[in-house]
Structure 1
Amino acid sequence: MTLLDAPQRTYSHRQVLEILSGLLLALMTSMLSTSVVGTALPTIVGDLGGQEQLSWVASATLLTMTVSTPLWGKLSDIFGRKRLFQIALGLFVAASVVAGLSQNIGMLIAARAVQGLGTGGLSALTQVILGDIVPPRERGRYSGYVGAVFGISTVAGPLLGGFIVDTDWLGWRWCFYVCVPLAVVAFAVVQRVLRFDHESRDARIDWWGATTLTGGATALMLLLSFGGHEFEWNSAWTYILGAITVVLVAGAVVAERAAASPILPPRLFRDRTFVLASIASLLVGVALFGAMIYLPQYLQIVKGMSPTESGLMTLPMVIGLFLSSIVSGKVASSTGRWKAFPAVGLVLVAIGLFLLSRLHVDSTPVEIGAYITIMGAGLGMTMQMLVLAAQNAASRQDMAVSTSGVTFFRSLGGAVGVAAFGAILTNRVKDELAARLGGVAAAPQLGTPEAIHGLPPQVVKAVLESYTEAMQTVFLVGVPAAVLGVVAVLFLKEVPLRGGGAPEAEPGRHGRHGRHERSRRKQPV
C-alpha cells in the first residue's frame, strides 16, 4: 500500500494563492537557471576550456528535463506530491551549487544534467498540484500565472545571464548561485502552505516502462541535439541512435500495455484530447525554444547588441506573454470555454514567426519588438490552455500522468526545434558565406560577436548578410509548425471546463472495448 495525495477539502482563493506562490517561485528559479546560461556560454567555456563540448553544456539540462518529466507525475501518485516536489527542488539546489563550483567542463555538464532532473520535476508537479487543489473551471485563472512564469523565465533568462556576465564583480558562476536563495525560500513556503490529506492505494513502480521510456527519449534527444554538430547526419552514430530509439519505443509500448500501473497508460492515447493537446504542445515547443535560442544570435551578431541589450529586446515578448496568459486564463475560468485561445494563439505565433522571417540587417528595434510581442501574446494564450484541456478531459486517476505527458511533449518539441533550427542556421550561414566570399572558408573562423565585428569590413558585411538570410530561413521554417498546431487545436473537442463548489463526477473515459464509461466515484476538490 502506498499513499496518493488526495485533497479532501475545498481551498479558498487565498489558500490557493499561498500554495501557488511557493510553486511558482520554485518553477521560476528552475526555469531561469535553465535558460540563463545561454548568454554566458562563451565566457564559461573560455574559463573552463572544452570549447568542443559547448553543446553538451547547453543540452544536458534540456535532455534530462525532457526524459524525466513523465516519471515525476507517476512517482508523485505513489509517494506523494509534496514529497516529490521537495525532492525535485532539493536536486535543483544541490546541482546549482555544484555547477557554480565547477572546476572543469565535465563537472559542469554533470551538474547541469542533475539540474535538468530537478527542473523536470518542478515543471510537471506544479501543474499536477494545481490540478489537485483547484477544479478545472477555476483552474484557468491560476494556470495563466503558471504560463506567464514559464514563458517569462524562458525569455528573461538570457537577459539575467547577460547582466551577470557583463557585471565584473559577479562573474558567470553567479548564473547558478543567483537562483539558490530563491529556491530555499520556495522550499520553506511549500513546507508551510502545502498540506494534503492522503488516501491509501495500491501502486507499483513500472520499472520496465520507466527504463524503456527514458532510454528511448534519451536516444532520440541525443540524436536531435548532436546530429549535424557532433556527428554528421549520414553517419554510424545517426543510425545507431535511431535504431536504439525505435527498439526502446517499441519496448515501451509493450511494457506499458502489460504493466499494472504504467508510467504513460495506453488509454491516454485513446483519448483524442490528450493526443491532440500533446501534438499541439510539441509544436508550441518547437516554436518557443527554437525561436528563443536563436533570436539572440541575430540581435548580437547582426545588430551588434551586447548580451544585456539583446536580453532587454525580449521584454516586449515577456509583456505580451504575461498579459495574454493572465487574461486568457481569467476569461476561460469565467466562461468555461477555452478552445479559442490556443487556436488564436497559434495563429499569432505563426504570424509572429513570419514577420520575424522578414527581418533584415537594417530592421529597427521597434519592428523587432512589435514582431516578438505578437509571438509572445500567442504563446501566452496557448501553452497553459493545452495543459488545462488535457487535465479537464482526464479522469482523477490519470490527471497527474496526463499533465506530465503534455509537458513532456512540449519539452520534446523544444529539443526538436533547437536541433532543427540549429542545423538549418549552420548550413545556411556556411552556404551564404561561401557564395558571398567566393568560396573562401570564412565560417570556421567565426567566433564571438565581438570577434566577428573585428573582421575586415568586407568580411563583416558578408557575415551579417549571411546570418540575416539564415535567420530568415530559420523563422520561416517555424511557420508550418505553428500552422500544424492550429490544425491540431481545431480538431480538439471543446469540453466546457468542469468545476464549481460541489464535488463532481469524473469525466468519462474509454474502456477496454472503446465504450464510454463514467466513474461514479466523486472527485474531491
Structure 2
Amino acid sequence: MASTSQVSSVEEEKISAIEQTQERPRYTDREKLLTMLGVLMVMLLASLDQTIVDTAMPRIITDLRGINYYTWVTTAYLLTSTVMVPIYGKLSDIFGRKPIFLIGVVLFLAGSAACGASQNMAQLVAFRAFQGIGAAALMPIAIAVIGDLFTARERGRWQGLTGGIFGLSSVLGPTAGGWITDNSTWRWVFYVNLPIGAIALLVLIFLMPTLHSKDSRRPSIDYLGAALLIAGTVPFLLAFTWAGSTYPWLSWQIMSLFAGALVVLTTFVFYEHNLERHDGQPIIDPSLFTNRIFTTSVLISMITSMGMFGCIVFLPLYSQGVLGISATNSGLRLIPLMGGIIVSSIVSGILVSRFGKYKLIAIAGMVIAIGGSLLLQQLTADSTPNQLIVAMLVLGLGLGCSFSLYTIIVQNALPTKLGQATSGLTFFRQIGGTIAVAAMGSVMNSTYSPAFQNAIPAAVKKVLPGKTLDLFNDPNVLLSDEVQKQFQKQLAAYGPQGKALYGQLMEAVKVGLTGGIHNVFVLSSLLMVLAFIISLFLKEIPLIGNKRKAAEHEAPEDAASTSVSAISIH
C-alpha cells in the first residue's frame, strides 16, 4: 500500500509539474527583449561592483584614514550578499520574481549612494553591508527571470550571454575603477551605479511582465529558517575569511566560529526538514537535494568555483611579483582569461540551445579547464608573459562552460522551483569561492617561507643575519616599490656588495613565491579533476524546447523531486 501511495503521489506531482510548465505564459518578443535589456543592465551592475571597488581601495583608505577597516569593506559585502541569496530565491518563488527583483535593485542603489557619501571607514563598511543585502537579489533572480521567460533550450543563448557579461565586467571593473580614481573622486566608483541602475529600474517597472508565482499555497515566510541560515552562515564565512590571516587556523577564535556554525546549521537543516514535512515553505527545501541532477550540479559548481578562485586570485600576484608586469592597468592582465570565459560561455550556450544536450559540453569544459590549470603549473620564475597568456586563455575556455551551463541544467531539472534552484546554485558557488580563497592563501603562505629559505644562496646566509633575512619573509615585498627602496637603503650599509645581496634576495623571493603559487595551482588542478569525475555521473535529461515537449520529456525523478522527499521522510 505504501508503495502504491508513493507512486500515486509521484504521478500527481509529475502531472502538476507538467501542467505548470504547459501553462507558462506566452510573452511577446518585445516583452522578452525589453525585460532582458533591464536584466542584463542589472547583471552588469552586480558583477562590476565586485571588481571595480578593489582598485579604488588604496585611495579610499588614504582619504578616509581607516586602514584597520580595510578588509571589512570587502568582508561586510561578501557576508550579506552571500547569506541573503537563498532567502531572496525562496521569496521570489513565493511572491513572484518582479517585486523581489525590484526590491533588490532599489536596496542596491540606495546602498551605492550611501557608500559614495561615506565620511569615514566605519560608515563605508556599514553601507557596503547594506549594499550587499540588495546585491544578493540581483544575479540569482536575474538568471531565474531568464528561466521564466524562455524554455530550457532557449535559455542557452541568454545564459551564455550572461556568462559573457560576467567575464567582461571582470576586465572592465578594475580598469574602470582605476580610471575613475585617477581622473575623478573615488566616490564615483559607487555613484556610477546610480544612472545605469535608474534606467534599468524604469525598464523593469514599466516593461517587465509580472511573472506571478505558480505556488497556489498561501504565502508564508520562514522567518526562523532565515534567522538560522544567517546565524549559521555568517560565522562559517568569517571563519574562512579570518583563518590563516587574522587568526591561526587552529586558534580558539576560528574553532569557536566553526563549532558555532556547525551547531546552528545542523539545527537549520533539521528545522527545514520538519517544516517541509508539514507542508510549510522553508527557505531551502531539503528535498531539492534528493534530485540527483541538482545535487551533482551543486557539487560540480562549488568545487569548480574553488579551483577557479584558486587560480584567478593568485594570477595577479604572479604576474606582478614574478613577471614584473605593471599593476597600472590591472584589469588588462586578465583579458586572456576573461576573453576565454566570454567566448566559451557564449559558444556553450549556443550549442546547448542547438542540440538540447549538456553533459558532453560539461565534460569537455572540465577537460579544457584541467588542461589550463596544468599549463599554469608549468610556470616558473623564468617564464615569459606569453606563457602566462596561453595558460590563462585555455583555462578561461574551460571555465566559461560552467558559468552558465549548470544554471540551465538545474532549471531544466526543477522547472517549478526556478528561484530556489538558481539561488541555491549561486549560494554554494559563492561559499566555494570563499573557502578556496582562505585555503589557497594558507597553502601559498605555508609553502613560500621554506621555498624562499631554500632559494637563498649559502654565501648570502653567511653575510646577512637572520633578522635581515626575515624581512623578506613576506612576498608582498615584490609589489611595493616603497618597501623595496627601504630594503635597498638598509643593504647599502654593506657597500658595493649590498646591491648584489639585494638582487639575490629578491630573486629568492620570486622563487619562493613561484613555489607557493605552484602548489596553489596543483591544488586547483586536483579540485578540477574531482569536478570532472563527478561530471561523469551527471544525469542528462532532454532540455525543454517548447510547451508540448516539456510534457513529453519531463523525467519522473525531476518532476516529482519534491514530493519524493516528503514521502520518503514519512
TM-score (normalizing by structure 1): 0.90
**1:412-454 deviations in Å (ceiling 9; x for gaps):** 1111111112222233334434444554221359565333553
Tell me if structure 2 keeps the 8 A contact 1:425–1:471: yes
Match of 1:476 in 2: 522
Within 2, Cα distance between the matches of 1:111 and 1:434?
43
> Which of the numbers 412, 428, 436 marks the counterpart of 2:447?
428
Matches within 5 A, 1:255-274: 255-259=271-275, 260-274=280-294
Give the distance between the partners of 2:90 and 2:189, measured in 1 at CA.
Answer: 31
Q: How far apart, in 1, do the equivalents of 2:351 and 2:104 lie?
A: 32
- Select 1:500's aligned residue among 529, 546, 550: 546
Q: Distance in 2 between matches of 1:445 and 1:386?
A: 37
Q: In the superposition, relative to structure 1, how do residues 435 and 101 fare at CA in structure 2: closer, same or farther (>3 Å)?
A: farther
Instruction: Give the equivalent residue in structure 2 for 1:96.
Output: 112
Query: Which region of structure 1 is more displaced relative to structure 2, 354-363 or 364-373?
Result: 354-363
Identity %: 35
In the TM superposition, 1:38-57 aligns within 5 A as 38-57=54-73
Contact 1:63–1:221 (Cα < 8 Å) also in 2: yes
- Aligned match of 1:520: none
**Secondary structure at the counterpart of residue 307 of structure 1:** coil
Residue identity matched to 2:390:
A
Structure 2: distance between partners of 1:308 and 1:193: 41
* AA in 2 matched with 1:293: V
- Give the corresponding residue for 1:521: none
In structure 2, stretches of 5+ residues that fail to align are: 1-19, 489-501
Displacement of 1:285: 1.7
Q: Which residue of 1 aligns with 2:306?
A: 286
- The residue identity in structure 2 corresponding to 1:426 is N
Matched, 1:375 2:395: yes
Q: Letter of the aligned partner of 1:179 in structure 2?
A: N
- TM-score, structure 2 normalization: 0.84
User: Contact 1:156–1:315 (CA<8 Å) still a contact in 2?
Assistant: no
Is the contact made by 1:296 and 1:311 (CA closer than 8 Å) also made in structure 2?
Answer: no
1:449 aligns with 2:449: no
1:136-151 alignment to 2 at 5 Å?
A: 136-151=152-167
Q: What does 1:92-131 correspond to in 2, within 5 Å?
A: 92-131=108-147
**C-alpha separation between the residues in 2 aligned to 1:516 and 1:254?**
16
Alignment correspondent of 1:509:
560
Partner Cα separation in structure 2 for residue 180 and residue 205 of structure 1: 31
Change (3 A) 1:435 1:356: same
Instruction: Specify the code of the residue in structure 1 equivalent to 2:438.
Output: A
Match of 1:224 among 228, 240, 252: 240
Stretches of structure 1 lacking an aligned partner (at least 5 in a row): 518-525
Q: Looking at CA atoms only, which structure, 1 or 2, has the larger radius of gyration?
A: 2
Task: Give the letter aligned to residue 421 of structure 1.
Answer: M
Aligned length: 511
In terms of mean alpha carbon deviation, does 195-204 or 399-408 score higher?
Answer: 195-204
1:178 is matched with which residue: 185, 192, 201? 192
Contact 1:277-1:386 within 8 A present in 2 as well: yes
Q: Cα deviation per residue 1:255-311 (whole Å; 9 max; x = unaligned)?
A: 111220011111111111111100111112213333323222222222333334332
Which residue matches 1:387?
407
Q: CA deviation at 1:162?
A: 3.2
> C-alpha separation between the residues in 1 aligned to 2:123 and 2:448?
32
- 1:27 is aligned to 43
Residue 422 of structure 2 aligns with an amino acid whose one-letter code is T
- The CA deviation string for residues 198-253 of structure 1, in whole angstroms up to 9 with x for no partner, is 36641211112111122211111011111111111111111211111111111111
Aligned 8 A contact 1:212 1:249 in 2: yes
The reply on whether 1:84 has 2:100 as its aligned counterpart is: yes
Alpha-carbon separation, structure 1, partners of 2:483 and 2:513? 11
TM superposition shift of 1:131: 0.9
Partner of 2:218: 202
Taking the aligned partners of 2:185 and 2:323, their CA distance within structure 1 comes to 25
Alignment correspondent of 2:425? 406
CA distance in 2, matches of 1:144, 1:94: 30
Residues 407 and 422 of structure 2 are in contact (CA less than 8 Å); yes or no, is this contact kept in structure 1?
Answer: yes
CA drift at 1:467: 2.0
CA-to-aligned-CA distance 1:468-515 (integer Å, 9 cap, x gap): 222222222111111111112111111110121548446522465569
Structure 2 letter corresponding to 1:400 = G
For 1:492, give the aligned amino acid. Answer: L
In 1, Cα distance between the equivalents of 2:287 and 2:222?
Answer: 16
**Greater share of helix:** 2
> Alpha-carbon deviations, 1:372-412, whole Å to 9, x = none?
1111111211121111111111141x221111101111111
Matched AA of 1:369: I
- CA contact under 8 A between 1:342 and 1:385: conserved in structure 2? yes
Of the candidates 384, 400, 403, which is equivalent to residue 364 of structure 1? Answer: 384
Contact kept? 2:357, 2:542, Cα under 8 Å: yes
Contact 2:31 2:208 (C-alpha < 8 Å) held by counterparts: no
> 1:422 & 1:43 partners in 2: Cα distance?
25
**Is 1:189 paired with 2:209?**
no
> Is 1:488 aligned to 2:534, yes or no?
yes
Read off the aligned partner of 1:329 and give its amino acid letter. Answer: G
**1: CA distance between counterparts of 2:91 and 2:564?**
28
Shift in alpha-carbon separation, 1:7–1:47, aligned structure 2, 3 A: farther
Whether the 8 Å contact between 1:509 and 1:516 is mirrored in structure 2 is no
Q: Distance in 2 between matches of 1:57 and 1:515?
A: 42
Contact 1:453–1:460 (CA under 8 A) maintained in structure 2: no
Residue deviations 1:23-42 (CA, integer Å, cap 9, x gap): 11111112111122233333
Query: SS of 1:314's equivalent?
Result: helix
Q: Which residue of 2 aligns with 1:463?
A: 509
- 1:474–1:513 CA distance, 2 compared to 1 (3 A): closer
Q: Is the 8 A contact 1:34 1:61 kept in 2?
A: no
Do the aligned partners of 1:89 and 1:183 also contact (CA within 8 Å) in 2?
yes
Deviation per residue, 1:345-388 (Å, 9 max, x gap): 12222221221222223332222221111111112111211111
Cα-Cα RMSD: 2.6
Name the CA distance, whole Å, in 2 between partners of 1:188 and 1:512. Answer: 39
Change (3 A) 1:356 1:70: same
Residue 11 of structure 2 corresponds to none
- Please give the alpha-carbon distance, in whole angstroms, between the structure 1 residues aligned to 2:272 and 2:509: 50
For 1:303, the equivalent position in structure 2 comes to: 323
Which amino acid counterpart does residue 450 of structure 1 have in structure 2?
D
8 A contact 1:156–1:314 mirrored in 2: no
Aligned to 2:360: 340
The alpha-carbon distance between structure 1 residues 366 and 13, as it changes in their structure 2 partners (threshold 3 A), is farther
